[in-house]
Structure 1
Amino acid sequence: MSSLGGHLEQLLALQPTMDMYDSYIVTENNPSTLKLKDKYKEIYYLPYISRSSFFSFVFSFVSIFLKSLRLFVKLNPNVIISTGSGCVLPMFILGRIFGKKLIFIETFSRIESKTLTGSFCYYLADVFIVQWKELKKLYPKAIYLGSIY
């Protein structure tokens, strides 16, 4: 699961691995992601998390948490793999509560600094992967695997 843009592009780079398992894609509902329905059978959409103000963020987060809960119950995933950003937090929290395996891949665009989502998911994930060696300084328990591209 991932937010849209580069995070989603990185998740889709894992397609060969996803093809080996029963997999679902969860991303944000956006005009740029709706066309993915034509290519991927199992794709689900969550609303975009607004960060324009604290109030809108809290409202968005609660809404996405409830929608994520319904989706979590429907899909009952064994493993949740995420490339970030905001919309993934509720599903990651649910995964931790229900004892699911959580894998987080910090975005390729971060070489020397943490993302907000990565900072949070670092403590939730069973496996935390970085794509740059430099990030091992910031995430000491992370696994460096190089680029997923």
Structure 2
Amino acid sequence: MKKIIFISSTGGHLSELLQLHTLFDHYDYHLITEYTKSNIPLKDIYKKKMSFLMYGTKHNLLTYLFIFPINCIRSLYLYFKLKPDVIISTGAHTAVPMCFIAHFFKKKVIFIETFANIHTKTLSGRFIYPIADCFIVQWESMLELYPKAIYLGWIF
């Protein structure tokens, strides 16, 4: 059974990622997101299949400059602990290090660009597009920005 890490930042990115929950029954999965008050109940649902990274936002740049390297190290630790075959992400910044780690170790990276953007690239999408084995967009208009992407429609 393939091991898959599903990873995203909190909020809308996580809501999109959780729409893929029907895949969880078919794979040896692990879910990773940021530790926030609203995400703590996920530990009760997913038990040992759930891990957290530190919450950080680029809107508070000074704090984020300390949190991001810590999350990179934690991502590396989780990668070696879980030994995934595939990374699936809906973004954003929290997921970028894990995608690059997987790419470095020649594992598959599947990135789903957020539903929230119809005409502009996300920052995480810009970083991950060149390394993704499969880059999925939810709006057909996004194919103009990501010509090698696959349009599959909305996750919702």
Same-fold call, TM cutoff 0.5: yes
Partner SS state of residue 39, structure 2: helix
Q: Does 1:148 align with 2:155?
A: yes
In structure 2, what is the equivalent of residue 129 of structure 1? 136
Partner SS state of residue 140, structure 1: coil
Higher mean displacement: 57-66 or 112-121: 57-66
Aligned residues: 149
In structure 1, what is the equivalent of residue 34 of structure 2? 28
- Equivalent AA in structure 1 for residue 9 of structure 2: S
Structure-1 separation of matches of 2:131 and 2:35: 25
The Cα RMSD (Å) is 1.1
1:25 Cα deviation (Å)? Answer: 0.4
Scaled by the length of structure 2, the TM-score of the pair is 0.91
In structure 1, what is the equivalent of residue 116 of structure 2? 109
1:52 Cα deviation (Å)? Answer: 3.7
Structure-2 separation of matches of 1:40 and 1:53: 30
Structure-2 separation of matches of 1:56 and 1:76: 30
- Equivalent AA in structure 1 for residue 16 of structure 2: Q
Residue by residue over 1:1-49, the C-alpha shift from the partner in whole angstroms, topping out at 9 and shown as x without a partner, is: 1011111111111011121111110000000101111111311000123
For structure 2, list consecutive stretches of 5 or more residues without a partner in the other structure: 1-6
Higher mean displacement: 52-61 or 119-128: 52-61
Partner SS state of residue 70, structure 1: helix
In structure 2, what is the equivalent of residue 3 of structure 1? 9
Tell me which of 123, 127, 138 is aligned to 2:145.
138
More strand by share: 2
Residue by residue over 1:83-115, the C-alpha shift from the partner in whole angstroms, topping out at 9 and shown as x without a partner, is: 001110111111111111000000011111111
Structure-1 separation of matches of 2:30 and 2:70: 21
Q: Does 1:85 align with 2:85?
A: no
- Equivalent AA in structure 1 for residue 145 of structure 2: L
1:53 Cα deviation (Å)? Answer: 5.0
Residue by residue over 1:117-148, the C-alpha shift from the partner in whole angstroms, topping out at 9 and shown as x without a partner, is: 11111012100000000000000000000011
For structure 1, list consecutive stretches of 5 or more residues without a partner in the other structure: none
1:58 Cα deviation (Å)? Answer: 2.8
In structure 1, what is the equivalent of residue 46 of structure 2? 40
